[in-house]
Structure 1
Amino acid sequence: MSKIRITKQFNFETGHALYGYDGKCKNVHGHSYKLNVTVIGTPIHDSNHVKNGMVIDFGDLKKIVKEEIVDQFDHATVLNKNTPHIELAEELMKRDHNVILVDYQPTSEKMITDFADKIKARLPKNIELFSLRLQETETSFAEWFASDQD
């Protein structure tokens, strides 16, 4: 049976700041992110199965990514908890802002790796995460491929 890739795109707004960076991105700013999630698997071949012909129901993939990524990161500010930005984070949280503290520099490259780990942990055993593409701006994006990982 053929392996098929299924892709779903998600959109969310997230702010961040890059501590120690030597350019404008050291300042708190935001992006309209686009996340393409591609999984690979074999379509179900069972005429009695409600999902016959599907690798994964798009709705099931949407539920996973929405819960793990979109609902968490949409309209949040992501800051590295191991920097002085922790003071800014604490002040924002006191004012009831949605702040996510991570243990990495919140670049697209590191965020996409974090997203891959979260999505992989929720996928059914017969479905593999094939790739992610996190678009930060109209012309800039990071890509993660399972085949590139150790």
Structure 2
Amino acid sequence: MIYLTRVESFNAAHKLSNPGWTKEQNQEVFGKCANENWHGHNYELHVTVKGNPDPDTGFVYNAKTLGVLIKDVIIEQVDHRNLNVDVPFMAGKFTSAENFAIAIWDELDKHLPESVLLHCIKLYETPRIYVEYYGGK
């Protein structure tokens, strides 16, 4: 088994806020991230797939093809968008980095060929904060 990682970046805004809480509760738990006027991040997305190299190409999956897939399925929907209001695959979801990584996994997993398995989504929200998701199955 070999692993291939493709890295892409994008910018997006969001707000962390529990609608069932008061403004004060949200401010206490989420701090500046509960800003009524949103806030943004320069995200870095690492998508790792795994499989066995194809005998004809030596590739687990063509890295260029993976990049195009990530751009078409994820980046086009999220770049310079508001995750809370503009992104269909985040509709009705709390826009934490954790939930965002799970949603990215779910979107990409639908588009990979059977011979290639999604291994990990690593999503950097800041250079010092990231989440990793290895699938929930």
TM range (shorter): 0.7 to 0.9
Paired position in structure 2 for 1:5: 3
- The equivalent residue for 2:82 is 77
Q: CA-atom RMSD, angstroms?
A: 1.2
Unaligned runs of 5+ in 2: 19-25
Give the percent of matched residue pairs that are identical in Structure 1 and Structure 2: 30
Amino acid at match of 2:54: I
**TM-score (structure 2 length as normaliser):** 0.85
The one of 65, 68, 92 equivalent to 2:73 is 68
**1:100 CA drift (Å):** 2.4
Show structure 1 runs of 4+ deviating over 6 A. Answer: none
Counterpart secondary structure, 2:43: strand
Aligned residues: 123
Q: Does 2:40 match 1:35?
A: no
Which residue pairs with 2:15 in the alignment?
Answer: 17
C-alpha separation between the residues in 2 aligned to 1:119 and 1:33? Answer: 17
Larger CA Rg, structure 1 vs 2: 1
Q: 2:93 aligns with which of 87, 94, 104?
A: 104
Q: Map 1:106-125 to 2 at 5 A.
A: 106-125=95-114
- The one-character-per-residue Cα deviations of 1:48-91 (angstroms, maximum 9, x if unpaired) are xxxx1111111110111111111110000111xxxxxxxxx5xx
